[in-house]
Structure 1
Amino acid sequence: MRQPGSTIFPGAGTVAQDAARPMPGPRRPTSLDEVIDLLLRQGLGERALFGPAEPGEDRDPDAARRAARRAYREMARLAHPDVAPAGRRPEAARAFARLTELWEAHQRAAASAPARGAAGRGPAGRGPADRDVAAREGMVLVGRGGAAYTVGARHDRAGGRASACCEIATLYRVARVVPADGMAGTDESRCVVKIARSAGDDDLVAREAAALRRLARLGDPRYAAYVPRLVDTVRFREGQAPGATRRANVLGLLGGLSPRVPSPSSRNRELGRPDDFVTLAQARAAYPAGLDPRDVAWMWRRLLVAIGYAHRAGVAHGAVLPEHVLIHPAQHGLVLVDWCYSAVPDPADGAVVGVQPRAGGADDPSRRIPALVEAYADWYPPEVARREPPGAATDIALASRCVSYLLGSADPARLGGAVPAPIRRFLTGCLLPSPSMRPDDAWRLLAELDELLGRIYGPRRFRPFTMPSPSP
């Protein structure tokens, strides 16, 4: 199974502060104290922690990328708030947030660094490296229906603080659209173009397009705002290799809000700015000790709606993880993004994702989750590693990890007394090892959750949720 790169957290670092320092290679701390010292006391930047992002005459680029990823994973394991001693979690959370900011900066620098030699290699050697990000600006891509899209600057979801699909792809603003009928184009576009960083991951971009088409065709339109809108798909040539054709998806810019449950209302479809959205990872980083369960409740409910919407259309998301769930704090909206890891266990129209399907039958790759997100490999339920087609219980387990993580720990057994015991037991039941023992219907689980929350907190009422202002 392919292993895409680690999921990226928000932020950006600086290269300048490390430019003059010698770079023997990535740092390899062995304790939380060492990580905190490097990040918070010495204030090292991404170049000092992970090594230079640009290729060097005396360095194997693939080996340098592997060493940088290994260093990031080791430091993330040491500094993650979930594994830090209780009294040190706030300090660990600050170090972890800084680490992920610097890793984001290193990834961006590596993606835009010019390759040496005839051809570079992408992450983990999967294919040609992504070309300079700036070099794509001004490219004109023609979609399946004939519309022409001019590629603009790089676009980061969640207000530039996180790119919600940055394990394998880069998002670009569409600067101009010329429709297929030849009418005058417009410079005002609410679209982005998603291009995999490595040509070897173009199949994942195609998988996302197939999933979004199926959702639009077979899904309940009342809940369509819970997922991105596929505007168009593109095939284009890039580089000098003859016949090298790349894929890209044109997606609607996130600006709408997902409808509230159970019935949509026009107020909740009002447009918001794209930078009004944050990822669940950002929400958790803003509250290192965990969010209030009353705030998590609406995120949990909406996440089950998004999953239930997809399952009724026959699509399993396959990677319900903190960076792939965007929320609108003020309006309580939610969008489940990055469908590159999705699967369709049964391609028949009218088929739903429910009870764990049997692994037998035709060996159709689209029935299985194609790849793991490396940074969250231990979050996946066992059936994914066994290469079994996913059932509803697979996405439900991943969503339950997200909820538990928001509350303070990805393991419900480690949640503190601030989380009511019935909620801890509810989450534990969604994370049992065997898929046959877990819930297999997101809509039915939502009804059970509503009943549980009603017993604990009483009738539902709107509770404002705010993200603290970032420190200067």
Structure 2
Amino acid sequence: MMFAEAVARIERAGSFAELGEGEAAYRAYAKAVHPDAVTGAQSAAANRAFAQLSKLYEQWSRQVAVGDIADLITDPRGLLKIPRSPADSDLMAAEATALTALRDHGDPKYRPYAPKLIESYLHEGAERKRRRVNVLQRLIGFVPLSDLRRQIDPRDVAWMWRRLLVGLGWAHRAGVIHGAVLAEHVLIHPEKHGLALVDWCYSGPHVKAIVARQRDAYPPEVLREKTAGPATDIYMATGLMTRLIKDPPKQLRRFADGCSYDKPRMRPQDAWRLLGELDEVLHSLYGPRTFRPFTI
């Protein structure tokens, strides 16, 4: 790789992932821009590029997850959520706004249903482009539902469904719409039966973006009118939960059908009231609630 090309690529990169994969990519770029291997005229540019390469590589080595639009990196303060494109900083700002509203206006007893926003700030990288970075509380012991690669007993889905409706009801009472209730955005704690909604970047009544690969999971109002409301979250939560169930009972299928109409005004609008209806269905099927150990 030529020196000038390597410098240009490093300066443009917002994350190490844009340069290649793993150790091999790092070695190739380090060889091309190492200050000890260039001419005197190239020395200043090499020092800048090598320092930026080292920073990007260190961040990559601390990376714990790759999200739809951002990378999550460990930090002493929590998790740094860094958008790969500066153009997605508005989505980071939307998440910060949503989590602030939940903190300031949501009932504090429901705080475990979403991560805490520790800080949100603008960062200017070596390429002189600004990105909004959110620092989030790390949720220990939680895993995304996307890690669950099998369908499960409806009795195990029941506690997830109940907690998901609790979390959504809490958000809606605080005036916040999640907007992307998808498997990768719903974390569960299998041992403690905990649940948290993450990735609030898509929140708000006006849809700025969707997760394209999950297009089929969105209701018509999102795809056609770019709008979202409580009924949007309920539609997506219902689809997510029913897709998890192996051989759903007829009563649960009927319940889900009532939450999945094309027109949002025909769907339930109140997640907490809907929780009561779900409890009635579950009680008729399985009797009083009991704790069922669950593992991924």
Shorter chain as denominator, the TM-score bin is 0.7 to 0.9
Q: 1:169 aligns with which of 70, 76, 81?
A: 70
Structure 1 distance, partners of 2:215, 2:236, is 11
- Residue in structure 2 matching 1:374, options 200, 212, 224: 212
Is structure 2 residue 176 aligned with structure 1 residue 315? yes
Tell me if 1:194 matches 2:81: yes
Letter of the 2:271 partner, please give it: A
What CA RMSD, in Å, does the superposition of the two structures yield over aligned residues?
A: 2.7
1:135 offset after TM fit, Å?
Answer: 2.2
Q: Which amino acid aligns with 2:260?
A: L
Aligned residue identity for 2:145: L
Give the TM-score normalised by the residue count of structure 2: 0.80
* 2:253 is aligned with 1:424: yes
Deviations 1:232-289 (A, max 9, x none): 1121211234xx32210111111xxxxxxxxxxxxxxxxxxx2x32211112x0x2xx
> CA deviation digits over 1:288-324, x for unaligned, max 9?
xx10000000000000011111100001000000000
CA contact (8 A) 1:154 1:170 kept: no
Task: Tell me the residue number matched to 1:397.
Answer: 235
Task: Specify the code of the residue in structure 2 equivalent to 1:456.
Answer: L
Q: Tell me the distance in 1 between the aligned counterparts of 2:54 and 2:214.
A: 30
Change in 2 beyond 3 A, CA 1:335/1:107: farther
Distance 1:200 1:302, change over 3 A: same
Distance in 2, matches of 1:133 and 1:292, equals 48
Contact 1:232-1:249 within 8 A present in 2 as well: yes
Q: Measured at CA, do residues 396 and 133 of structure 1 come closer, stay the same or move farther in structure 2, by a change above 3 Å? A: farther
With over 3 angstroms needed to count, the CA separation of the structure-2 counterparts of 1:167 and 1:214, relative to structure 1, is same
Q: Is the 8 A contact 1:280 1:406 kept in 2?
A: no
**Equivalent runs, 1:6-405 vs 2, <5 Å:** 109=20, 135-136=55-56, 153-156=61-64, 163=65, 166-175=67-76, 189=77, 191-241=78-128, 244-254=129-139, 274=140, 276-283=141-148, 285=149, 287=150, 290-343=151-204, 367-405=205-243
User: Does the CA-based 8 Å contact 2:208-2:226 persist in structure 1?
Assistant: no
The one-letter code matched in structure 2 to 1:208 is: E
Indicate the SS of the match to 1:294: helix
Q: Give the secondary structure class of the aligned counterpart of 1:386.
A: helix
> 5+ unaligned residues in a row in structure 1: which ranges?
1-56, 62-105, 117-131, 139-150, 157-162, 176-188, 255-273, 344-366, 409-417, 468-472
Q: TM-score, normalised by structure 1?
A: 0.51
* Alignment partner, residue 267 of structure 2: 438
- Helix, strand or coil: the match of 1:239? coil
Identify the match of residue 290 of structure 2 among 434, 438, 461: 461
Same amino acid, percent of matched pairs: 48
Q: Structure 2 stretches of 5 or more lacking a match? A: 10-16, 30-51
Matched residues in 2 for 1:166 and 1:108: separation? Answer: 18
1:181-236: per-residue Cα shift (whole Å, max 9, x none)?
xxxxxxxx5x1111001111111111110110111011010101100100011212
Measure, in 2, the Cα distance between the counterparts of 1:109 and 1:173. Answer: 20
Are the aligned partners of 1:238 and 1:245 in contact in 2 as well (CA < 8 Å)? yes
Q: 1:152 to 1:109 in 2, by over 3 A?
A: closer
In the comparison of the two structures, how many residue pairs are matched? 259
Q: How many Å separate the matches in 1 of 2:81 and 2:19? A: 15
CA distance in 1, matches of 2:130, 2:80: 16
Residues 153 and 173 of structure 1 are in contact (CA less than 8 Å); yes or no, is this contact kept in structure 2? no
Equivalent residue letter for 1:386: R
In 2: Cα distance, 1:234 partner to 1:372 partner: 24
Question: Are 2:85 and 2:131, in contact at CA under 8 Å, matched by a contact in 1?
Answer: no
Preserved contact between residue 242 and residue 248 of structure 2 (Cα < 8 Å): no
SS at match of 1:340: helix
More helix by percentage: 2
Distance 1:203 1:439, change over 3 A: same
